[in-house]
A and B are shown apart, each in its own frame.
Chain A
Amino acid sequence: MRLGAVTMGDEVKLAFDLLAFISVMVLIVLGLGIIASMMGIFNFAHGEFVLLGAYTVYIFQSSGWSGWAGILAAPVVLAVVGLVLERLVIRRFYAAPIIAMLGTYAIGLIIRESVRALLGGQYESIDEPLSGVFTLLGFNFSVWRCVIVLTTICIIAATWLFLSRTSLGLQVRGALENPNLARACGISTSKLYSMTFAFGAALAGLAGALIVPLYQLSADIGTRFLVQAFLSVMLGGVGTFEGPVLGAAAVGGMAAGLPWIVIPVLADPLVFVIALAIVKLRPQGFITQGRL
């Protein structure tokens, strides 16, 4: 109802704010969605992968390196972490997705509480490598939020091109569509799964590294977004690349937009109510399986 009072200029600003928060959501959901779609594993440690990405930036910053170095290092560190975890733990659970959830939850718990101990339970501030605002057409735009929006667009484009245009992407899609046939064609699905998991973890790490300057580093930074991220994947539909991205856009848009219309404490629950209603009407998600 307040939207009626908004002028033209405010609409630009509102659109930018929505876009910035949607980008944050998409960044976080992307890795989760890819692992869920390609491997059928709901990775409950995803929030902690985001946390580890943020923590990597903190380590770099506190040892005197530039923030950029931390942001570049975070996906690499997380890819290694993801690879090791997949080899040691995750691959034992492919046949049992429910147990995989519990297993990844346990991994997440270990990571979260270890980081909490390392941080001494404190909140830490991380500076943006590019801070401040710039003015365009009379509006203030946060530089770092623009960086996040642009990075998100680039990552979506790159990931989509990788999956749809490269031969490795074709193998990944093949393994998703029909693992047995893919193996029969000489594709090593186990190697593909390792790489997919590492890739998903790397995306989570990058997300954590990029968003932490907007918030504060604490052990719970990932859990805050995890449930909404799962909701996004559910809303968008498992088994596709675009689905979770659209789901994240919808959830992020609602989370940022609803406080305009209802009181803020109601906004969070309302996001879930609306999303669940949509899922009820369209159980397969926005995008049906196997389109990619």
Chain B
Amino acid sequence: MADKRPREEASLRGIGRRRLMGASALGAAGWVAAGSGWLLAPKEAHAADPIKMGIATDITGAIAPSGNADWQVAQFTVERINKGGGILGRQIELYLADTASDPKIAVGNVRKLIQEHKVNVVLGGITSAMRQAIKDPIVNRGRTLYIYPQLYEGQECTKYLYCTGPTPAQQCNKLIPYLIKTLGKKRFALPSANYVWPQLLNKYARKLIQENGAEVVFEEYYPLDQAEYSATIGKIRDGKVDCVFNTIIPPGLQPFMKQLYESGFQKRGGALACVYFDENLLNFLPAEEMDGLYSCLDYFQAVDDPFSKQLRADYDKRFPGTKYLFTAGSASTGIYRGIKLYEVAVKATNGDLKREVVSAAYDKAKIDEGPGGGAEVVPGHMHCKMNMYIAQCKVEAGKPRYDIISSDKMVDPKEC
């Protein structure tokens, strides 16, 4: 993947005007009714034109709470950039496409972003199924830069697709040794929802668990809406499991957490880790079921560097009393990072918005500050180094919160 790109960039830079016209007309054939002249318009004429940014996220449907948080964070971030004079004097215009938690609906809406609004970049998608569905209309047919903001299972190495959320290596490399070496857990259970993220994350986690001298007692996949987990709880008890590494997601999550808690697993000293749990989940489940749970993400609200604290205060001021929090598990931090890295990249290209040129700059982009700290794209690897935090949920007077247990600077994503 990485070795191919520089060559193509070089050939594109050296491309003649006539050849580029031919190439873009060919690429656009069949979907741009108005022709492809906009691609060739001289940059100078557009110097003060706005930069068009598309946000494709789940405003409605099952994961609407995360999608709405992403949309609010996108508005918040872009408003800050625009207030500071935009990118090289150009304002960012935001366009929203509702992906509706449904890939079938999403593809049509995302196409609109590209064909009607002709956005320069698209950020969004939360589930892996969504990313898989919209990446082709954006990257291949749409010839547009795509930034995917969510923590995910890794192995996405598509050209012009940058991932700004944490990877399995970033989420597991410290957490699993911590569970084994520091907490002394030896017998793991991996109960999971039956789809791609848990499957690939578990594959990575299993390797780490075994390398660190512990064992996986069982790894099981359930229908996403499973309502009854007594067999699972029985296996956890029979197998003398002392650490549950959970990747069950809602709606199957609540009955699982309830039955696990009721079985007394935590009271017997068992550790529970869920690496997608952020502040949104705190009010989603009863506090006692959350007590003692471990998570590992790129940001928690308990992170107390001055920039993260100010950012959170500003966001709360912009959306007072909002129920859509600025958190890591819902891809909001990835959205912030993705937009700010894009700003850096466009500044580096001196305002050239051509996909190949921006992408080359994005590949080396770096921001010093962000939620949880700065981030930098690992050149040639399409993913970001970022700070990672292991946190534990603590309940005080019935109120749950995360306490940071350890942090690591600029953890490598180890992808592509």
Q: Which residues of A contact B (CB under 8 A)?
A: 2, 5-6, 10, 13-14, 17-18, 20-21, 24, 120-123, 125, 127, 131-133, 140, 142, 145, 214-216, 218, 220-221, 224-225, 255-260, 263-265, 268
Residues in chain A near residue B258, CB distance under 8 A: 142, 214
Q: How far is the CA of A216 from the CA of B255 in the complex (A)?
A: 8
- Expressed in whole angstroms, the minimum distance between the Cβ of A123 and any Cβ of chain B is 5
Q: How far is the CA of A281 from the CA of B10 in the complex (A)?
A: 72
What 3 pairs across the A-B complex have the smallest Cβ distances? A17-B230, A259-B231, A121-B64
Q: How far is the CA of A124 from the CA of B228 in the complex (A)?
A: 19
Would A127 and B230 be within 8 Å (CB), given that A10-B237, A264-B223 are in contact?
no
Which residues 258-307 of B have a CB within 8 angstroms of A?
Answer: 258-259, 262-264, 283-286, 288
Interface contact A140-B264, CB-CB below 8 Å: yes
- Expressed in whole angstroms, the minimum distance between the Cβ of A72 and any Cβ of chain B is 22
Residues in chain A near residue B62, CB distance under 8 A: 121, 123, 218
A6-B238, A259-B230 are known contacts; what are 11 more A-B pairs with Cβ within 8 Å? Answer: A5-B238, A10-B238, A17-B233, A21-B228, A120-B64, A131-B286, A140-B262, A215-B255, A216-B254, A256-B230, A265-B222
Q: Which residues of B contact A (CB under 8 A)?
A: 60-62, 64-65, 101, 194, 220-223, 225-228, 230-235, 237-238, 250-251, 254-255, 258-259, 262-264, 283-286, 288
Which of A127, A258, A263 is packed against the most chain B CB atoms within 10 Å? A263
Residues in chain B near residue A225, CB distance under 8 A: 227
Residues in chain B near residue A132, CB distance under 8 A: 288
Q: How far is the CA of A6 from the CA of B233 in the complex (A)?
A: 13
Interface contact A123-B250, CB-CB below 8 Å: yes
Residues in chain A near residue B194, CB distance under 8 A: 265
Interface contact A140-B263, CB-CB below 8 Å: yes
Interface contact B225-A2, CB-CB below 8 Å: no
Q: How far is the CA of A2 from the CA of B222 in the complex (A)?
A: 18
Q: List 11 A-B contacts (CB under 8 A).
A: A10-B237, A21-B227, A122-B64, A127-B286, A132-B288, A140-B264, A142-B258, A215-B254, A224-B225, A255-B228, A265-B194
Q: How far is the CA of A211 from the CA of B355 in the complex (A)?
A: 52
Residues in chain A near residue B60, CB distance under 8 A: 121
| Residue on B nearest A225 in the bound complex, by CB | B227
Residues in chain B near residue A14, CB distance under 8 A: 230, 234
Q: How far is the CA of A174 from the CA of B259 in the complex (A)?
A: 44
| Residue on A nearest B233 in the bound complex, by CB | A17
Residue in A20, A121, A133, A255 whose beta carbon sits within 8 Å of that of B264 in the complex: A133
Which of A121, A122, A258, A265 is packed against the most chain B CB atoms within 10 Å? A121
Interface contact A13-B234, CB-CB below 8 Å: yes
Would A265 and B221 be within 8 Å (CB), given that A125-B254, A215-B254 are in contact?
yes
- Expressed in whole angstroms, the minimum distance between the Cβ of B173 and any Cβ of chain A is 29
Residues in chain A near residue B288, CB distance under 8 A: 132
Residues in chain A near residue B228, CB distance under 8 A: 17, 21, 255-256, 259
Interface contact A224-B286, CB-CB below 8 Å: no
- Expressed in whole angstroms, the minimum distance between the Cβ of A17 and any Cβ of chain B is 3
Q: How far is the CA of A145 from the CA of B228 in the complex (A)?
A: 12
Interface contact B234-A215, CB-CB below 8 Å: no
Would A18 and B230 be within 8 Å (CB), given that A214-B255, A220-B225, A264-B223 are in contact?
yes
Residue in A123, A142, A260 whose beta carbon sits within 8 Å of that of B231 in the complex: A260
Residues in chain B near residue A122, CB distance under 8 A: 64-65
- Expressed in whole angstroms, the minimum distance between the Cβ of B333 and any Cβ of chain A is 21
Interface contact B234-A6, CB-CB below 8 Å: yes
| Residue on A nearest B61 in the bound complex, by CB | A121
Would A216 and B230 be within 8 Å (CB), given that A263-B221, A264-B222 are in contact?
no
| Residue on A nearest B284 in the bound complex, by CB | A125
Residues in chain A near residue B259, CB distance under 8 A: 142
Residues in chain B near residue A20, CB distance under 8 A: 230
Interface contact A21-B255, CB-CB below 8 Å: no
Residues in chain B near residue A125, CB distance under 8 A: 254, 283-286
Would A216 and B251 be within 8 Å (CB), given that A142-B262, A260-B234, A265-B194 are in contact?
yes
Residues in chain A near residue B264, CB distance under 8 A: 133, 140
Residues in chain B near residue A121, CB distance under 8 A: 60-62, 64, 101
- Expressed in whole angstroms, the minimum distance between the Cβ of B216 and any Cβ of chain A is 15
Residues in chain A near residue B238, CB distance under 8 A: 2, 5-6, 10
Residues in chain B near residue A259, CB distance under 8 A: 228, 230-232
